[in-house]
Structure 1
Amino acid sequence: MSQNPLGAYARAQRVAATPRSTEYRLMSEITGEMIAARDAGLAGARLAPALHRNRQVWAAFRNLCADPANALPEELRAGIISLGLWVERHTSLVITGRDSIDELISVNRTVMGGLMNENGGAAPAPATAAIPG
């Protein structure tokens, strides 16, 4: 009996995936959704579906970093929590039409850059996380 090649591929991908590559892939998908919504001319509350997923992932990052058992350095965890809080506040401004989605896209792209090194592989964790504006 032959195995399903798609199932074998999925199993191999799960084994080869690192937390960083998974985070990168998730951020890439979400950022792509926000770019597509922006490029479609959506603004304000019409961006809510694209922004909702971004809010969810940043809330998850904040919660993971708030866990004392998290192995990341304390300074990095604090930076990610602060950045996640900024994302939450800025998202509210975007949904109410008081600011643009561009800064959220920029933050996600910066985080994605930190997750990847110049060879396209997972990069080591940065020492600090910068908080925009």
Structure 2
Amino acid sequence: MNAFDMARTAYTSPAAPIRTARSTEYTAFAKITHQLRAAAVKKKTSFPEFVKALDDNRKLWNILAGDVASANNQLPKELRAQIFYLAEFTRKHTSDILQGKADEASLIEINTSIMRGLRHEGGQE
């Protein structure tokens, strides 16, 4: 066993799952959506937690918008445009929620739809 093999085995667990970009995105959406749902239930008693969940969701969508706006992104142009639109919608809708003009249901539904697509559409990478 050489030094490279020793280093690799020292820092990896043989039982650790191999993550694909798709599964990483799914995990991020699942975590944020769960956080948003949980915070929404108690938003009247813990509004700062609700605001944080909204902000974390907005940050996730900002990251996606930046990614699909990159010339190096390999997704089809139409899909990139749709994701960018959803990021813009999320930004605007989050602002509306904070102003008391809307609720979080649409954001949760969008995230859930994205998760379904990541889980099923196109299978494994």
Report the TM-score range of the alignment, normalised by the length of the smaller protein. Answer: 0.7 to 0.9
Residues 97/74 of structure 1: CA separation in 2 closer, same or farther (3 Å cut): same
1:9 to 6, 9, 13: 13
For structure 1, list consecutive stretches of 5 or more residues without a partner in the other structure.
1-6, 118-122, 126-133
Shift of residue 98 of structure 1? 1.2
* Rg larger for: 2
2:73 equivalent to 1:75: no
Question: How far apart, CA to CA, are the structure 2 residues paired with 1:85 and 1:10?
Answer: 41
Q: Secondary structure at the match of 1:54?
A: helix
Q: Percent identity?
A: 32
What does residue range 4-83 of structure 1 map to in structure 2 within 5 Å? 8-9=12-13, 12-13=16-17, 16-42=18-44, 46=48, 47-83=50-86
| Residue equivalent to 2:103 | 100
Task: State the aligned residue count.
Answer: 114
Question: How far apart, CA to CA, are the structure 1 residues paired with 2:15 and 2:57?
Answer: 27
Q: Secondary structure at the match of 2:13?
A: helix
Question: How far apart, CA to CA, are the structure 2 residues paired with 1:22 and 1:11?
Answer: 17
For structure 2, list consecutive stretches of 5 or more residues without a partner in the other structure.
1-10
Shift of residue 124 of structure 1? 1.7
Question: How far apart, CA to CA, are the structure 2 residues paired with 1:11 and 1:73?
Answer: 34
| Residue equivalent to 1:128 | none
Residues 11/66 of structure 1: CA separation in 2 closer, same or farther (3 Å cut): farther
Q: Which letter does structure 1 place at the counterpart of 2:16?
A: A
Shift of residue 12 of structure 1? 3.1
Shift of residue 10 of structure 1? 8.3
Residues 41-88 of structure 1: CA deviation (Å, up to 9, x unaligned): 448x64210011101110000000001110000110011001110000
Question: How far apart, CA to CA, are the structure 2 residues paired with 1:29 and 1:10?
Answer: 25
